[in-house]
Structure 1
């Protein structure tokens, strides 16, 4: 499968955000307060986190000095910085929070599309391109949208927008090992995923001895840590690939806690 173009990821991020917006736009206040699978986070916390991160990303694109101040605050409180941002937004009236999220993501969309070709945008990890920033935002929007849908009892059918998340999950293989303090495998991996449309998405050399196969949806659930490996139809061939499925993580930051298997007590 050819790599997605920068324009396609901007369009897909917008579509993913609009689809989640449709889910929450008409909710009453009591439903914004529903608990989601993320411990301590309500529907409002999930949307507030997206709005907060969109604002951070906008600063990174348009105001490097302002973003540097955010990084300093994050370094001063690494264990609570993200939760504090979500908590602050979750205390807002739902209509005000929704308006903030809409305004912020629209401004970020415009800024990313206007970024000069080859521009490197600072972030909490290594600098990234505008397309990579949009991919990270799409990943978070999809993942937090799953938590919102779970709380509301809503089903969101998977789309081929997952191709961006799947590619990111494959490209962050080494990062997942480093952040979990596990040696990075020397050999390349092969990943073959069945897309929602029925297309086959492939990454890595065809003759790689270490392989992962299965549904693209399940792979994306795994690398965003929205489901436990035990509940997913992913198959690993080779010990290194098998270990990777236990630690896969496409998002920045320390190792995620993951989600318990469905059969585990909560």
Structure 2
């Protein structure tokens, strides 16, 4: 990675219309998954330590509500900063804690209500706001880096519910809905960022509906597409020792 790439705030590489479409589809798939959960499913442990399905869904709802309202986003950021410590940990803990009294049905209904407004809020973010830097540095691969609000809104706010949809599906044993026109596009963006981050030759074969082939030369790597993304997110050993944020 060059010095310029190391210091420049990370921005979204996705076409804006594609980013909005991915967000809308992902929110819809989360709603469908939550709606299909049985009463016993909400207490099942997930791959995120300390979180059962209910806690994970509460966090996901909190993130959707951030996207749906600038006022709510600022409120959550301020409250998380007051908690101190690592910002993202403080934020997710806040989101779970504030929804402790919500029933599973209430979380599902609220998510379905908020999702269209979250898409609308992300679509309406103007270009000059999207270019602004986030106030908090993010530590990725052992280094602090800055992100633009556009990267947060167009990329991370969709990768996050996508990965947690994977987590919940695994926790409850539910089929994971995957299609090339949605999950394949999301995975392609992840692969391209992973390649840029490590900057080394590779040949990557990903299997499954979201898979494909990337690169030429270097080590030949083959994974299931979902398992590849899980590894990059810290849920396994990251290929070429390079993580990607979700």
The TM-score with structure 2 as length reference comes to: 0.70
Q: Which has the higher contact order (CA 8 A, sep 6+)?
A: 2
Instruction: State the shift of 1:218 in Å.
Output: 3.0
Q: Which runs of 5+ in 1 are unaligned?
A: 176-184, 230-243, 253-266
Aligned partners of 2:162, 2:228: CA distance in 1, in Å?
13
Deviates more, 1:119-128 or 1:20-29: 119-128
Secondary structure at 1:222 match in 2? helix
Look up the match of 1:149: 169
Look up the match of 1:15: 25
Residue 203 of structure 2 contacts residue 220 of structure 2 at CA under 8 Å; is this kept in 1?
Answer: yes
Question: Does the alignment pair 1:202 with 2:202?
Answer: no
Residue 76 of structure 2 contacts residue 91 of structure 2 at CA under 8 Å; is this kept in 1?
Answer: no
Aligned partners of 1:93, 1:23: CA distance in 2, in Å?
16
Look up the match of 2:10: none
Q: 1:216 aligns with which of 225, 232, 241?
A: 225
Instruction: State the shift of 1:109 in Å.
Output: 0.8
Aligned partners of 2:71, 2:133: CA distance in 1, in Å?
10
Question: Does the alignment pair 1:98 with 2:105?
Answer: no
Question: Structure 2 matches for 1:105-116, cutoff 5 A?
Answer: 105-116=115-126
Instruction: State the shift of 1:48 in Å.
Output: 0.6
Question: Taking structure 1 as reference, are residues 214 and 29 closer, same or farther at Cα in structure 2, changes over 3 Å only?
Answer: closer
Q: Which runs of 5+ in 2 are unaligned?
A: 1-12, 138-145
Look up the match of 2:204: 192
Q: 2:158 aligns with which of 138, 146, 150?
A: 138
Instruction: State the shift of 1:47 in Å.
Output: 0.9
Look up the match of 2:243: 249
What CA RMSD, in Å, does the superposition of the two structures yield over aligned residues?
Answer: 3.4
Residue 135 of structure 1 contacts residue 165 of structure 1 at CA under 8 Å; is this kept in 2?
Answer: no
Residue 17 of structure 1 contacts residue 141 of structure 1 at CA under 8 Å; is this kept in 2?
Answer: yes
Secondary structure at 2:214 match in 1? strand
The TM-score with structure 1 as length reference comes to: 0.66
Aligned partners of 1:40, 1:117: CA distance in 2, in Å?
38
Secondary structure at 1:25 match in 2? helix
Higher helix share: 2
User: Once the two structures are superposed, what CA deviation does each residue of 1:91-130 show, in whole Å capped at 9, x if it has no partner?
Assistant: 3112221233233332221011112235335544434254
The number of aligned residues is: 221
Residue 48 of structure 1 contacts residue 101 of structure 1 at CA under 8 Å; is this kept in 2?
Answer: no
User: Once the two structures are superposed, what CA deviation does each residue of 1:196-230 show, in whole Å capped at 9, x if it has no partner?
Assistant: 44873436xx46x466454433321211234x34x
Aligned partners of 1:67, 1:87: CA distance in 2, in Å?
12
Instruction: State the shift of 1:12 in Å.
Output: 1.9
Q: 1:120 aligns with which of 120, 127, 131?
A: 131
Question: Taking structure 1 as reference, are residues 77 and 9 closer, same or farther at Cα in structure 2, changes over 3 Å only?
Answer: closer
